[in-house]
Amino acid sequence: MWFGLGPAERALQEEARAVAASVADIAAEADAMSEIHPGIREALRASGLSALMVPAAYGGRAESVDPLAVCLVREVFMRASSHLDSMFALQGIGSYAITVGGTDEQRAQWLPRVASLEVLAALALTEEQAGSDLKNVATTVVEKDGGLLLRGAKSFISNAGAADFYVTLVTEDAGLSLVLVPADAPGVSVAPSPELIAPHVLGEVTFDDVALPPEARLGAPGKAMRLVLSTLAVFRVSVAGAACGLAAGALTEAARHARTREQFGRPLLKHGPVAQLLADSWNDVEMARLLTYQAAAAARSDAAAALNRSSMAKVAATEAASRVVDRCVQVMGRWGLIANSPIERYYRQARPMRVYEGASEVLKLGIAKTLCDEV
């Protein structure tokens, strides 16, 4: 059972806050971009915090990736800039299958450079016809001339176009497998994805008969889902961390406004319905944070065993963030609607979090099944 943050975790929060403060002047500009913002990349690189995403043996800070540490940093980063949060998160989400399923050579080749942000990582699962249902993946790998031949296309891939490698889900005779594809391999091309309501570095990746060496496989043929689940077990809860940061940031904006803006001769805060919106939102943030930290702390000791709790935290925190930010816009009246203001950015950025890394409805299926299995 988790009871609170210790000195090391509080120091990490301070470290992340210093990075967030250093990008305050470029956050709005970066969050409007669907390409990598060089200033954000440099701030993250200089911070050394990407080292949290790989084990100490490959340049990381801890013996293994610490889900609570990742969560705490994402909470601070998302509040400051979704671009910063996403760049940080992708270094882990895109590389973790190498950490758990790669050979020593693959780890040595890529992980130290992931830790130092010399390279950017990407995880390519989604396709036109395969979203929540990854069993539908149609990208194929066949063995040819002693190597592997990769053919197919991936859609809505974060970091596409900027990434240095794609950990890619494919289908083959043995079942679903993962392969590690260098971005500069002949036959790899990237086109932009549609612009989202909250811009994100996203692309459509095509693999046109990409020849790979046999050692490009991650793990055993047909055993991809084990590696994908390991990745989700460590990183799904970090989306909850980011959602808590977003919700808390929105609430701060609304609370400041409610304290100073007067209507009918008194501050908005003194109008009962407005006070209720704020109080309900604070409750939501605190409940989401408790569940998130608890799930992340449980994932530290056994991430796979804590996956259901991580799913609960992800659903609770992302749904809470949407409720909170919607109420905050309401409290701020017309000032809540100004394009590219902090509150309007939070409003747009909250929405995709309920869809990616497991849509709420899909995660609830697993949560309900676990509940019924346990009673």
Ligand X SMILES: Cc1cc2nc3c(=O)[nH]c(=O)nc-3n(C[C@H](O)[C@H](O)[C@H](O)COP(=O)(O)OP(=O)(O)OC[C@H]3O[C@@H](n4cnc5c(N)ncnc54)[C@H](O)[C@@H]3O)c2cc1C
Interaction site with ligand X (CB under 6 A): 123-126, 131-132, 156-158, 200, 202, 352, 355-356, 359, 361-362, 365
Q: Which is nearer to ligand X, 17 or 323 (CB)?
A: 323
Q: Closest-CB residue for ligand X?
A: 131
What lies within 8 Å, CB to CB, of 301 at 6+ separation is: none
Q: How near is the Cβ of 5 to ligand X at its closest, in Å? A: 29
Radius of gyration of the chain (CA): 21
Residues 309/294, Cβ–Cβ less than 8 Å: yes
Q: Which is nearer to ligand X, 156 or 293 (CB)?
A: 156
What lies within 8 Å, CB to CB, of 64 at 6+ separation is: 55
- Terminal alpha carbon distance of the chain: 21
Q: Which is nearer to ligand X, 269 or 355 (CB)?
A: 355
- d(C-alpha 104, C-alpha 122), whole Å: 20
Strands (E), 125-283: 140-144, 147-158, 165-172, 175-182, 188-192, 202-212, 217-218, 262-263, 266-267
Q: Which is nearer to ligand X, 331 or 357 (CB)?
A: 357
Reading the block at residue 144, the tokens are 């040819």
Q: Which is nearer to ligand X, 160 or 268 (CB)?
A: 160
Q: How near is the Cβ of 266 to ligand X at its closest, in Å? A: 41
- d(C-alpha 331, C-alpha 275), whole Å: 9
Q: Which is nearer to ligand X, 121 or 298 (CB)?
A: 121
Q: How near is the Cβ of 362 to ligand X at its closest, in Å? A: 5
- d(C-alpha 214, C-alpha 3), whole Å: 47
Q: How near is the Cβ of 93 to ligand X at its closest, in Å? A: 7
Residue 194: other Cβ atoms inside 10 A: 9
Q: How near is the Cβ of 258 to ligand X at its closest, in Å? A: 31
What lies within 8 Å, CB to CB, of 302 at 6+ separation is: none
Q: How near is the Cβ of 355 to ligand X at its closest, in Å? A: 5
